[in-house]
Structure 1
Amino acid sequence: MISYSLICDRSHKFDAWFKSAEAYDEQAARGIVTCPICNSVKVDKALMAPAVSRMNSDKLSLSSGHPQQAEIREMLRVMRKKVTSEADYVGDKFAEEARKIHFKEADPRGIYGEATRDEVAELIDDGVDFLPLPHVPDEAN
């Protein structure tokens, strides 16, 4: 079984389980993958975060009510601050700069910025290693 985060043409996001990646592709091609909110058949895979697991391969998920949620949020906040203070902000040129560094057309250095969904997909296809910089909402939100 495989779980995909999906998004319809009206920007409704939802998750769905499929027997395999091929099963999703076949069902999507037949137009039977539909948005549960608006019934649109124009559905695509959304960007997904990788599953986080422990050393023993048990999956780890923390709901907003989990006792360690605040601790994890603070660790993410510290990590984000470290990256933004030590790396170069390249704005919407992230994909271009990451590709130059990957293909040794530019000196290696830490960078961060923005990339479109298409740019992210192309970076993955090109084998460029990168990680999304987590957005950590304020405690009040």
Structure 2
Amino acid sequence: MIRYSLKCAEGHQFESWFRSADAFDTLRASGQVSCPVCGATDVEKAIMAPRVSTSRSRTDAPAQGTPPATPAPDISPPPSPEQIEQAVAKLRAEVEANSDYVGVEFAAEARKIHEGEAPARAIYGEAKLDEAKALIEDGVPVLPLPFTPKRKMN
């Protein structure tokens, strides 16, 4: 596995893991690597400092004439499952409060909004994988949500 620091054409920076350098190149060429912020598929590798560990401890003095090492950046621990669950619940509440649920008509409604045939507004709903891919290929800005919408009943 290899981790790349990536940058989209809009300047958003993010990281992602890939099976290999060739896997990244193949996925990028087929448009399957996209920015999590704007969805752009014009993604390039950004400059990234490698992580190198040495057998010498930090308390050892550097060799004469060698500049002191730059301290490692402070890396926060990953969020706990409870913190992730709370963040997803907060996101769900925000989406449900500020968006219209359009159910299984999501792809059709998103396309209408994109083409100016329906009023611009925030929507969420459900789409089949092929419908979502078609929207992305046509430049319709969509993003998968990390939760399943609660089906609204009549």
TM-score by length of 2: 0.48
Q: Write out per-residue CA displacement over residues 20-60 of structure 1, whole angstroms, 9 at most, x where no aligned residue.
A: 317x98xxxxxxxxxxxxxxxxxxxxx989669xxx979xx
Query: Highest Rg: 1 or 2?
Result: 2
Structure 1: 5+ residue stretches without partners? 4-14, 26-46, 59-64, 137-141
The CA distance in 1 between the partners of 2:78 and 2:99, in whole Å, is 32
- 1:36 aligned partner: none
Taking the TM superposition and a 5 Å limit, the aligned residue runs for 1:12-51 are 16-17=19-20, 19=22, 20-21=25-26
Measure how far apart 1:111 and its partner are.
0.8
Would you say the 8 A contact 1:90–1:111 is kept in 2?
yes
Identity %: 40
Residue 71 of structure 1 aligns to a residue whose secondary structure is helix
Amino acid at match of 1:129: P
Residue 102 of structure 2 aligns to a residue whose secondary structure is strand
- 1:100 aligned partner: 112
The CA distance in 2 between the partners of 1:57 and 1:94, in whole Å, is 38
The CA distance in 2 between the partners of 1:78 and 1:115, in whole Å, is 22
The CA distance in 2 between the partners of 1:84 and 1:112, in whole Å, is 8
The CA distance in 1 between the partners of 2:123 and 2:117, in whole Å, is 15
The list of structure 1 runs, each at least 4 consecutive aligned residues, that deviate by more than 3 angstroms after superposition, is 15-18, 47-52, 65-69
Which of 145, 148, 151 aligns to 1:133? It is 145
The CA distance in 1 between the partners of 2:114 and 2:2, in whole Å, is 30
The CA distance in 1 between the partners of 2:36 and 2:2, in whole Å, is 12
Q: How many correspondences in the alignment?
A: 95
